[in-house]
C-alpha cells in the first residue's frame, strides 16, 4: 500500500525520534523527562494533550476490560508468605495458582483476582463476597478456604490444594464408568445439599468445578457465581456474568436471576452427571445463542443412546434432574443423592412421573422434526377422512391422497430414525427437506392442484426449513420446492399461465431469503 | 488549527464536540423513554464503541481483524439492554458500553482463534439487561487503574474516539499499535508488515492528522485536568 506524501501538518517539523521519546516519557509516567523534553523543544507542547489523551484512552480501555483480562503470570514470584507456583486454572474472575505457604510449609491453592491491579471496585467486591461465602462452609466435599486478604494490591484467598484433576479434564479421556459417575455425583449432591442448608446457591455447577482427588473423592469448588439465597436483594453475586450456557438450567439460560432456587442446582447436578456419563454436555451448539436455544427448547439426547453402557435407572435419574420445568425435577440435591445411592445399593428407584401430556411434550421436544410433521400430516389426514365420510362419492378421488399422507408420515418417522442412527444433522435435514418437497409435489399432482392456492405449501416448506438453522438447507429446500413446482406444472393438464407461475416462484424465493437471513442472524449471535 | 497554548474554557461547537456536550441531555431523555434521543445517543457513541472494539481485538488477537461485527453486536446488546442500564451519568454510560464491548471482543477473539470452549468462555454475559440493579453500571473509571496514574474525561474519550475513527485506516492502525497498545516500533513494523522507519514516518503523520481532527481543546499545551 503506497501513500502519497501529505502536506506537512503543523508540527510535522518535529524529529520523529524526539516525539517518540516524548511518547515513551508519557507512557512511562515520567513527568521530569516529559518536562525536560518540552523545555528542549517547545513545539512539543502542542502535542501534549493529544498524546496524553491517547495514553489515557489506552488505560481507560484496559480498566474496563473483560474480567478475564490478562494478568501477567505470577509463577515464581513471592506474594506475602506464599511462593507462587504453576497456574492451575482460570475462571471468570480469578486465576488459581498452586502456591507454597512458606511459614507453614504446606501447599495451597491460591486464587487471585484475574484483573489484578486493574480490577474495578465491583470486581473486588464480588471477589471478597465469593471468599466470604466459601468461608462459611465446612464440608469434606467442598474445597475449604484458609484465609483471605490483600497482598501487594492483589486480592487473594487460599484454599485446600486438591491433588488431582477436575472432572472436565477427566472427561477428555472419555465417559466415566457408570458406578463411578453415580458415586461422584452422589457425593457432590450431598455437598450441594450442605450448601443449600447454609442458604447458598452455587449456580455454576459444571464438570470443571468438581475436583477429584487422588482417592477419587470429589470436591466442589468455585463459588464465583454463588449467591446467598437469604439476601435476595444484596448484590453479592450479580447477573452480569452467568455460567457456561452448556451446563445452565433453562431458567438461568433465559436470563433470569431472581427466582432461581435449589432446583437450579439440581439441574446442574444432572448436567454434570450427563457429561460424565456421555462425555459431552447435555446441550451444545455453534454459538452462544444456539446453545441457549437448545437448552430452552430441546430435550437432551438420552444418555444411553450416546453410551449404551449407561444403565436405564441412571439415565432416568439424570433426565429427571434435567427436566425443563423445575417442579418436575428432584426437589432437593439430597433427593438426587438418595436415588443415586439407592441405585448403587441395587434398590429400585421411583419410576419417572408425568402424565401423557407431559410425555407428549417431551417427545415433541426430543423429536421436533418428525413430531411436528406427524401432527400436521395427521391433521390433514383427518380433514381428508372427514371429507370422504361426508361425501362417499369423493372416496375414489381422495384415497390416493390419504395413502400418500400415510406414506409421508412413515417417511418422516424413517428420516428421524435414520437421523438418530446414521446421519449427521445436515444429512437428516436434507432427508426431511427433500422428502417433504417430493410428497407435497406428488400430493398436489394427485389432486390436480397446480393452479390452486394449495401450492402455498411450497413456500411454507421453505420457511420451515429455516428451523434447521442451516443456511444450506434453506437453499436446498428452495431448490427442491422449485423443482417440485416445475414438475407439477409440467405434468399439469391445465393451460400454463406464466404470471401465476412467476408469483409462486417469487413467493418461494422470498420465503427462502427471509429464512436465510434469519438463520444467518442467529448464527452470528 | 494553531499552536496557541490557550484552551477554550467552554466547549466550542466545532466537530463532534457538540455531540459530547449533548450526551448528558440525550442520555437523560433516552432513559425517560425518548426514542429519538436514544438514537442520537447511540449515533454519538458509535465511534467510541468502534475504537474500544478495535483496541480490544488488537490486544487479544495481535492481528488486524475487522471490528465491525463486535461493534454491531455491542450496539445491538446495548440497545436491547438499554432499559436495564441503571446508571445516570455519561461516565457510567460509557463504562457500561465499554464492558459490553470488552465481553463481545473477548468472545469474538475466542471464536476467531477457535480455542476450546472450555478454557476461555467460562463466563459470558448472556443478558446485560438481566439484572438492572447489579453490576453493569456503577463503573466510574478509577484513575488509580491507569499505569501512568492519569484519568481521562469522558468528553475527551468521545472526542478522541471520533477523531480516530475519522482517520485513514493505516493512520488509525499505527496509533492503536504505538499509542494504545504501547508497542515498540519494531513490533509495530512487524504487525503492519512495513519497515520500522516507514512506520515511524507513518506514525508522525498519523499523530499530526489526529491532532488536526481534534478540536482546539486538545491543541493546548496544558494537560487536561
pLDDT top residue among A381 and B111: A381
- Give the model's pLDDT for residue A26: 83
- Give the model's pLDDT for residue A503: 92
Active-site residue, from A160, A166, A204, A222: A204
Is residue A452 scored above 90 in pLDDT?
no
- Give the model's pLDDT for residue A230: 54
Q: Are B47 and B162 in contact, with CB atoms under 8 Å apart?
A: yes
B117-122 contact pairs (CB < 8 A, 24+): B117/A244, B117/A246, B118/A168, B118/A208, B119/A90, B120/A68, B121/A244, B122/A90, B122/A91, B122/A92, B122/A208, B122/A243, B122/A244
Residue A53, all three cell numbers: 489523551
CA distance A172 to A273: 15
Residue A487 falls in which region: left (phi positive, over 0), alpha (psi -120 to 50) or beta? alpha
- Per-residue confidence band for A83, with pLDDT thresholds at 50, 70 and 90: confident
Q: Which of A209, A240, A255, A258 has the most B C-beta neighbours within 10 Å, making it the best mutation to test the interface with B?
A: A240
CA of A63 vs chain B CAs: smallest distance (Å): 6
- Give the model's pLDDT for residue B121: 36
The mean pLDDT of chain B is 69
Is residue A114 scored above 70 in pLDDT?
no
For residue A516, what are the contacts with CB-CB under 8 A and spacing of at least 6? Answer: A466, A471, A474, A475
B181 interaction partners in chain A (CB closer than 8 Å): 58
List residues bridging with A154 in a β-sheet.
A151
Is residue B144 scored above 90 in pLDDT?
no
Is residue A104 scored above 90 in pLDDT?
no
Tens digits of residue pLDDT in B146-187: 333 344 677 778 888 888 888 888 898 898 888 887 788 888
CATH number of A166-359: 1.10.510.10
Is residue B64 scored above 80 in pLDDT?
no
Give the closest residue to A127 by CA, choosing from A187, A177, A67: A67
Measured at the CA of A399, the angle between CA A397 and CA A403, to 5 degrees, comes to 140
> A78-160 has which fold?
Phosphorylase Kinase; domain 1 (3.30.200)
- Give the model's pLDDT for residue A413: 93
Residue A86: its H or E element: strand A82-90
- Give the model's pLDDT for residue B91: 80
For the segment A249-278, the average pLDDT, to the nearest whole number, is 88
Tens digits of residue pLDDT in A22-52: 888 887 777 788 888 888 888 888 788 888 8
Chain B contact for A54 (CB, 8 A cutoff): yes
Is residue A179 scored above 90 in pLDDT?
yes
- How many residues belong to chain B? 225
**Domain spans in chain A, listed from the N-terminal domain onward:** 16-63, 78-160, 166-359, 369-524
For the ranges A24-33, A109-118, A198-207, the lowest mean pLDDT is seen at A109-118
CA distance A295 to A360: 18
For residue A116, what are the contacts with CB-CB under 8 A and spacing of at least 6? Answer: A71, A72, A153, A154
pTM for this model (two decimals): 0.57
Query: By three-state DSSP, how is residue A142 classified?
Result: strand
Chain B contact for A23 (CB, 8 A cutoff): yes
- Give the model's pLDDT for residue A447: 87
Residue A5, all three cell numbers: 506524501
Torsions phi, psi for A289 (to 5 deg): -60, -40
Burial A131-164 (b: 16+ CB within 10 A, else e): bebbbebebebbbebeebeeeeebbbbbbbbbeb
Highest mean pLDDT out of A23-37, A175-189, A458-472: A175-189
Q: Are A17 and B197 in contact, with CB atoms under 8 Å apart?
A: no
Highest mean pLDDT out of A156-170, A315-329, B209-223: A315-329
- In A, residues 241-260, which contact B (CB 8 Å cutoff)? 241-246, 253, 255-258
Chain B contact for A1 (CB, 8 A cutoff): yes
> B167-218 has which fold?
Arc Repressor Mutant, subunit A (1.10.10)
Q: Are B123 and B78 in contact, with CB atoms under 8 Å apart?
A: no
**Domain spans in chain B, listed from the N-terminal domain onward:** 14-117, 167-218
- Per-residue confidence band for B118, with pLDDT thresholds at 50, 70 and 90: very low
Residue A396: its H or E element: helix A395-421
| Backbone Cα Rg of chain B | 18
CA distance B145 to A371: 57
* CB spacing of A59 vs B125 below 8 angstroms: no
Is there a common fold for B14-117 and B167-218? no
What is the architecture of the domain spanning B14-117?
Orthogonal Bundle (1.10)
- Per-residue confidence band for A62, with pLDDT thresholds at 50, 70 and 90: low
- Give the model's pLDDT for residue B5: 39
- Give the model's pLDDT for residue A204: 85
Query: By three-state DSSP, how is residue A107 classified?
Result: strand
User: Nearest Cβ partner of A50 from B106, B152, B210?
Assistant: B210
CA of B106 vs chain A CAs: smallest distance (Å): 7
A204 in catalytic set: yes
List residues bridging with A112 in a β-sheet.
A95, A156
Is residue A72 scored above 60 in pLDDT?
no
CA of A219 vs chain B CAs: smallest distance (Å): 19
Which chain A residue's Cα is nearest to B204?
Answer: A16
Query: By three-state DSSP, how is residue A90 classified?
Result: strand
- Per-residue confidence band for B129, with pLDDT thresholds at 50, 70 and 90: very low
Give CA A418 to chain center in angstroms: 26
B200 interaction partners in chain A (CB closer than 8 Å): 16-17, 20
Tens digits of residue pLDDT in A366-378: 888 999 999 999 9
A29 interaction partners in chain B (CB closer than 8 Å): 147-150
User: Nearest Cβ partner of A56 from B73, B136, B150?
Assistant: B150
What would the 3-class secondary structure string for B63-132 be? CCCCCHHHHHHHHHHHHHCHHHCCCCCHHHHHHHHHHHHHHHHHHHHHHHHCCCHHHHCCCECCCCCCCC
For residue A102, what are the contacts with CB-CB under 8 A and spacing of at least 6? Answer: A81, A82, A83
Q: Which of A28, A63, A67 has the most B C-beta neighbours within 10 Å, making it the best mutation to test the interface with B?
A: A63
For the ranges A93-97, A111-115, A431-435, B108-112, the lowest mean pLDDT is seen at B108-112
* CB spacing of A47 vs B207 below 8 angstroms: yes
Amino acid at each position: 500500500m503506497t501513500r502519497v506524501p501529505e502536506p506537512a501538518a503543523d508540527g510535522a517539523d518535529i524529529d520523529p525520534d524526539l516525539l517518540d521519546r516524548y511518547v515513551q516519557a508519557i507512557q512511562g509516567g515520567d513527568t521530569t523527562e516529559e518536562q525536560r523534553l518540552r523545555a528542549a523543544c517547545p513545539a512539543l507542547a502542542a502535542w501534549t494533550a493529544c498524546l496524553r489523551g491517547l495514553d489515557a484512552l489506552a488505560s481507560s480501555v484496559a480498566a474496563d476490560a473483560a474480567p478475564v483480562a490478562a494478568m501477567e503470570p505470577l509463577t515464581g514470584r513471592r506474594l506475602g508468605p506464599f511462593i507462587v507456583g504453576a497456574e492451575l486454572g482460570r475462571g471468570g474472575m480469578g486465576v488459581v495458582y498452586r502456591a507454597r505457604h512458606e511459614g507453614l510449609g504446606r501447599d495451597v491453592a491460591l486464587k487471585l483476582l484475574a484483573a489484578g491491579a486493574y480490577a474495578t471496585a465491583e470486581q473486588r467486591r464480588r471477589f471478597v463476597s465469593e471468599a466470604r461465602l466459601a468461608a462459611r462452609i465446612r464440608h469434606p466435599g467442598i474445597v475449604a478456604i484458609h484465609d483471605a486478604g490483600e497482598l501487594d494490591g492483589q486480592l487473594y484467598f487460599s484454599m485446600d490444594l486438591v491433588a488431582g484433576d477436575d472432572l472436565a479434564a477427566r472427561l477428555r479421556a472419555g465417559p466415566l464408568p457408570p458406578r463411578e459417575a453415580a458415586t461422584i455425583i452422589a457425593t457432590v449432591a450431598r455437598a450441594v445439599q450442605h450448601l443449600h442448608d447454609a442458604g447458598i446457591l452455587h449456580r455454576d455447577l459444571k464438570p470443571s468445578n468438581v475436583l477429584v482427588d487422588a482417592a477419587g473423592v470429589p470436591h466442589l469448588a468455585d463459588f464465583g457465581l454463588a449467591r446467598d439465597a437469604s439476601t435476595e436483594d444484596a448484590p453479592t453475586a450479580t447477573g452480569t456474568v452467568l455460567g457456561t450456557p452448556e451446563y445452565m438450567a433453562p431458567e438461568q439460560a433465559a436470563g433470569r436471576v431472581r427466582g432461581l432456587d435449589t432446583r437450579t442446582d439440581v439441574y446442574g447436578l444432572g448436567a454434570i452427571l450427563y457429561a460424565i456419563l456421555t462425555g459431552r454436555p447435555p446441550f451444545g451448539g455453534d454459538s452462544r445463542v444456539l446453545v441457549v436455544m437448545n437448552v430452552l427448547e430441546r430435550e437432551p439426547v438420552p444418555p444411553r443412546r450416546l453410551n449404551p453402557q449407561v444403565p436405564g435407572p441412571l439415565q432416568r435419574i439424570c433426565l429427571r434432574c434435567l427436566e425443563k420445568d423445575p417442579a418436575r425435577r428432584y426437589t432437593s440435591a439430597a433427593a438426587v443423592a438418595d436415588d443415586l445411592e439407592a441405585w448403587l445399593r441395587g434398590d429400585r428407584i421411583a419410576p419417572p412421573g408425568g402424565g401423557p401430556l407431559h410425555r407428549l411434550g417431551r417427545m415433541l421436544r426430543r423429536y421436533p422434526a418428525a413430531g411436528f410433521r406427524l401432527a400436521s400430516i395427521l391433521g390433514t389426514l383427518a380433514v381428508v377422512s372427514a371429507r370422504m365420510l361426508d361425501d362417499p362419492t369423493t372416496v375414489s378421488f381422495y384415497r390416493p391422497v390419504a395413502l400418500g399422507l400415510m406414506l409421508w408420515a412413515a417417511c418422516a418417522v424413517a428420516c428421524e430414525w435414520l437421523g438418530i442412527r446414521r446421519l449427521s444433522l445436515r444429512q437428516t435435514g436434507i432427508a426431511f427437506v427433500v422428502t417433504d418437497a417430493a410428497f407435497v409435489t406428488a400430493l398436489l399432482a394427485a389432486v390436480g392442484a397446480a393452479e390452486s392456492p394449495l401450492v402455498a405449501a411450497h413456500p411454507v416448506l421453505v420457511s420451515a426449513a429455516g428451523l434447521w438453522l442451516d443456511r444450506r438447507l434453506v437453499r436446498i429446500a428452495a431448490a427442491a420446492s422449485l423443482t417440485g413446482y416445475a414438475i407439477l406444472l409440467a405434468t399439469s393438464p391445465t393451460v400454463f399461465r406464466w404470471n401465476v407461475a412467476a408469483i409462486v416462484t417469487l413467493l418461494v424465493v422470498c420465503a427462502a431469503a427471509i429464512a436465510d437471513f434469519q438463520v444467518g442472524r442467529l448464527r452470528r449471535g | 488549527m494553531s499552536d496557541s497554548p490557550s484552551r477554550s474554557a467552554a466547549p466550542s461547537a466545532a466537530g463532534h464536540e457538540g455531540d459530547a456536550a449533548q450526551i448528558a441531555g440525550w442520555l437523560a431523555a433516552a432513559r425517560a423513554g425518548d426514542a429519538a434521543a436514544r438514537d442520537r445517543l447511540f449515533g454519538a457513541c458509535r465511534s467510541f464503541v468502534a475504537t474500544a472494539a478495535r483496541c480490544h481485538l488488537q490486544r487479544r488477537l495481535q492481528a488486524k481483524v475487522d471490528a465491525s461485527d463486535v461493534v454491531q453486536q455491542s450496539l445491538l446488546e446495548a440497545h436491547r439492554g438499554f432499559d436495564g442500564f441503571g446508571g445516570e451519568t455519561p461516565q457510567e454510560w460509557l463504562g457500561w458500553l465499554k464492558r459490553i464491548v470488552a465481553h463481545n471482543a473477548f468472545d469474538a477473539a475466542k471464536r476467531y482463534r477457535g480455542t476450546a470452549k472450555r478454557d476461555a468462555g467460562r463466563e459470558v454475559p448472556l443478558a446485560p439487561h438481566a439484572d438492572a440493579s447489579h453490576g453493569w453500571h456503577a463503573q466510574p473509571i478509577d484513575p488509580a487503574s491507569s499505569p501512568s496514574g492519569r484519568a481521562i474525561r469522558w468528553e475527551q474519550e468521545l472526542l478522541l474516539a471520533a477523531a480516530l475513527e475519522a482517520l485513514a485506516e493505516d493512520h488509525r492502525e499505527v496509533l492503536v499499535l504505538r499509542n494504545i497498545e504501547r508497542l515498540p516500533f519494531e513490533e509495530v513494523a512487524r504487525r503492519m508488515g512495513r519497515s520500522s522507519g516507514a512506520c515511524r514516518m507513518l506514525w508522525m503523520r498519523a499523530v499530526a492528522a489526529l491532532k488536526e481532527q481534534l478540536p482546539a481543546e486538545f491543541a493546548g499545551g496544558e494537560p487536561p485536568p
